[in-house]
């Protein structure tokens, strides 16, 4: 049976990554965390003092960045590696969250990451989440979703996520960070966050993670069945 591409876009802290990971596991697909890719680039830029306003520095830095994902069987999840080093925990910290939207808005950064993402999806059978997956990276994806949620609910979720990593941040700081990221994500010149015309909207404000996963997995299964039925009829 031929597999499909599941593209999930949406705002920060709506549950995109959590849902995408669970859906990928249920379908037996690969999960690609594009947000982690941009966070890894941000980490590299921070560690090497790359000036975001210096195009040459940005271009030179991108040439030195290699990102890949490795599945950790002990934790039952994929982890992000930057130039051979596991950076999964570091890229989730608040100082990276504070800068990642600015870094990901840079045209050279987006073009390099999109190129890598499209290579990852050539064989299909992937679930990929981000900001421009259904609109730009994979505009022909068989299933597209756009996730959203109430701002305060998103802030509470992010606060709990950070607390789980022993990083305790006030709710006002998190709200300010989310508002800033939303503004940058939706107004940047290169592939801003928008809802694809053929995307299913999933508001996660009042539903559980399990309900989110069930909804997306059911849609994916129906799209897969339909795709294979069409292929059978053509053969």
pLDDT in tens, 8-23: 999 999 999 999 999 9
pLDDT at 176: 97
Q: Is position 147 within any domain?
A: yes
Tokens 């290169």: give the residue. Answer: 190
CB-based contact 138:121 (threshold 8 Å): yes
**What are 149's two structure tokens?**
């949620």
Element (H, E) at 198: none
Q: Is position 133 within any domain?
A: yes
Q: Is position 201 within any domain?
A: yes
Q: Which has the closest alpha carbon to 175: 187, 157, 189?
A: 157
pLDDT at 101: 93
More confident call, 229 vs 27: 27
> What is the rounded average pLDDT of the residues 105-111?
95
Q: Is position 110 within any domain?
A: yes
Q: Which has the closest alpha carbon to 151: 175, 118, 122?
A: 175
Domain containing residue 143: CATH number: 3.40.50.300
pLDDT at 229: 82
Phi, psi of 175 (to 5 degrees): -60, -45
CB-based contact 6:128 (threshold 8 Å): yes
Residue 70 has pLDDT above 80, yes or no: yes
Q: Is position 232 within any domain?
A: no
The whole domain housing 122 covers 5-217
Q: Is position 224 within any domain?
A: no
Q: Is position 228 within any domain?
A: no
d(C-alpha 204, C-alpha 13), whole Å: 10
Structural domains in the chain (count): 1
Q: Is position 21 within any domain?
A: yes
Residue 232 has pLDDT above 70, yes or no: no
> What is the rounded average pLDDT of the residues 149-161?
96
Phi, psi of 163 (to 5 degrees): -65, -35
- Alpha-carbon torsion 184, 40, 201, 195, what sign? positive
pTM (2 d.p.)? 0.86
């Amino acid at each position: 049976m031929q597999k499909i591409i599941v593209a999930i876009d949406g705002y920060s802290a709506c549950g995109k990554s959590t849902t995408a990971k669970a859906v990928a596991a249920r379908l037996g697909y690969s999960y690609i965390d594009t947000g982690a890719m941009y966070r890894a680039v941000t980490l590299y830029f921070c560690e090497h003092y790359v000036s975001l306003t210096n195009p040459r520095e940005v271009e030179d830095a991108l040439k030195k960045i290699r990102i890949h994902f490795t599945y950790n069987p002990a934790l039952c999840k994929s982890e992000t590696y930057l130039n051979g080093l596991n950076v999964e925990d570091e890229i989730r910290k608040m100082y990276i969250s504070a800068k990642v939207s600015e870094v990901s808005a840079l045209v050279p950064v987006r073009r390099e990451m999109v190129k890598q993402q499209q290579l990852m999806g050539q064989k299909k059978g992937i679930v990929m989440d981000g900001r421009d997956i259904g609109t730009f990276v994979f505009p022909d994806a068989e299933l597209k979703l756009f996730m959203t949620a109430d701002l305060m609910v998103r802030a509470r979720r992010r606060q709990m996520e950070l607390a789980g990593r022993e990083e305790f941040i006030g709710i006002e700081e998190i709200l300010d960070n989310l508002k800033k990221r939303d503004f940058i994500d939706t107004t940047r010149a290169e592939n801003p966050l928008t809802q694809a015309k053929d995307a299913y909207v999933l508001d996660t404000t009042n539903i559980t993670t399990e309900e989110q996963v069930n909804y997306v997995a059911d849609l994916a299964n129906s799209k897969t069945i339909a795709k294979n039925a069409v292929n059978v009829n053509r053969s």
